[in-house]
Amino acid sequence: MKFTIYQESRTGKRANNEDRLAHCYSRDSLLMVVADGMGGHYYGEVAAQIAVQTLTEAFQRLVKTTIRDPFLFLQTGMLNAHRAILDFAGKHDLQDSPRTTCVACIVQNNVAYWAHSGDSRLYLLRKGRVLAQTKDHSRVRLLLEQGVISVDEASTHPDRNKIYGCLGGQQTPEIEFSRKTTLDAEDVLLLCTDGAWSELPGDMLATALKTGNLMRTVPVLLDQAEDRGGPHADNLSMIAVRWQDTYVDDSTGSSLVTTKSMPRDTVTTRLDEFGRNPRQKTELTEEEIELAIEEIRSTIQKYAR
């Protein structure tokens, strides 16, 4: 595999950052995960952390060359994360379980497979156009499809933050799957939370990411989303990968990843441990962070397969 990848998460103007994101790859397979937590105190952060950590740890355990059934892997990982969040809520006697959106994608053999629950999005961008996009599991999306409201009305609708798909909560999560999608060289896969996509139209994202260095372009897009969000800007996060299908010398300084020489039994992971990213503000003490890390890990282990 050959690709360029960049991820970044920002707090915006909120007190805490409840977004979590991660990616990991072996010689032949790439996983990306984005989650947007919801819940009081620090529990939304925990729900999102459980989602990304459940999927990345499963990937590390199961991937040898490729994931045998990517859609089954994504479904199992999300359902296990859902159960782990409920377990955490029960352990803490929470009346309202924390919840999180989740969008995740696997790429292998030049084919992308993705799944989502909630309103965190994935875009497939090709030649400056949006080729595919996930459908939000939200009240506003349903109203749009029914023709009750317009696109302009959706951005300010009072129900714009109400979602019916998520991990955690009392209902079994609705998980929607893509088709197997073959990637072309220079295709861009973009995963992001609503704090980013709500301020940046899809055609704007496609144009901005058509060419250029992701490590310069993505921060600029996040700057623009944060500025447009104003004094109430939400947490905002993005993972962007530019796909290649040939091995050529890279002279653009774009931190190209090539996995051709990776040993088959190794996995490279980019995932911030709970409470350890200085960009993700938290009011927890060091002792509380250590306890949360241990609780998250022990909870996830119950559902590891």
Considering only CA atoms, which of 92, 108, 100 is closest in space to residue 34? 100
> pLDDT for 276-305, tens place per residue?
887 777 778 899 999 999 999 999 998 886
- The Cα 207–Cα 131 span in angstroms is 12
> At residue 9, does pLDDT exceed 80?
yes
Lowest mean pLDDT among 37-51, 86-100, 225-239, 243-257: 243-257
What is residue 178's predicted lDDT score, i.e. its pLDDT? 98
- The Cα 31–Cα 8 span in angstroms is 16
> At residue 254, does pLDDT exceed 80?
no
**pTM beyond 0.95:** no
What is residue 153's predicted lDDT score, i.e. its pLDDT? 67
Q: Which domains does the chain have, with CATH numbers?
A: 2-302 (3.60.40.10)
Position 123 confidence tier, pLDDT thresholds 50, 70, 90: very high
> At residue 261, does pLDDT exceed 80?
yes
